[in-house]
Chain A
Amino acid sequence: NAGVTQTPKFQVLKTGQSMTLQCAQDMNHNSMYWYRQDPGMGLRLIYYSASEGTTDKGEVPNGYNVSRLNKREFSLRLESAAPSQTSVYFCATKEVMNTEAFFGQGTRLTVV
């Protein structure tokens, strides 16, 4: 039982390059989330998907796009990476009812 799987774990990009962060869950949860965490700070919500077929902006959506491919998968795309997007990215999943959120192990992204 893998839970929440993020790929890749580490990535270095040059400014202007694009990439997609992948997140897959086998917990059959409806809601999925993408957060970024900068050094010494909390988690800031980029985008979330309350259920398959829906996506909504969070606190810091600029420079990102998402796709809820199916119930299991929620991807985050950087179309033109910038140094300000250097961060650790976490994917999380949660059921709509009162349950905890489960996290992937994170992707450390550096944009040079």
Chain B
Amino acid sequence: EDKVVQSPLSLVVHEGDTVTLNCSYEVTNFRSLLWYKQEKKAPTFLFMLTSSGIEKKSGRLSSILDKKELSSILNITATQTGDSAIYLCAVANNAGNMLTFGGGTRLMVKP
């Protein structure tokens, strides 16, 4: 059974801080790892990672995959209150394209 674990479960920081969110996985026939941000409604896509060691970057957010360690991190620098959300990690496998999510990390950024 595919498994995705995120840590920490929740995090409270102040504006301007840098945070690192973790995602580890146990997946048969790994295909890709995806990060999503969820505010009030549906998750919105951030990154998709397929190759180890290649950083994906979008503004203050960046992410990297380590296939040897079966993990990924999501970094957010100079956090803002608008970064407050649940961050979700998901892994897609080759066997039927199953997409498994982790439990999420709830980030709260205080002014």
Contact = CB atoms under 8 A, between A and B. Distances in A.
- Interface class of chain B by DSSP: strand
Contact of A94 (B86, B88, B99, B103): B99
Contacts of B104: 41-43
Interface in B80-96: 86, 88, 90, 92, 96
B32 A43 contact: no
Interface residues of A, number: 29
Q: DSSP class of A's interface residues: helix, strand, loop or mixed? A: loop
B42 A103 contact: yes
Contacts of A103: 42-43
B48 A45 contact: no
Contacts of A33: 99
B41 A45 contact: no
Contact of A50 (B1, B41, B96): B96
Contacts of A101: 34, 45, 90, 99
Contact of A42 (B50, B88, B98): B88
A43 B88 contact: yes
Most chain A CB within 10 A, of B42, B48, B88, is at: B42
A35 interface: yes
Contacts of A59: 1, 100
Interface of B: 1, 6, 31-32, 34, 41-43, 45, 48, 50, 86, 88, 90, 92, 96-104, 106
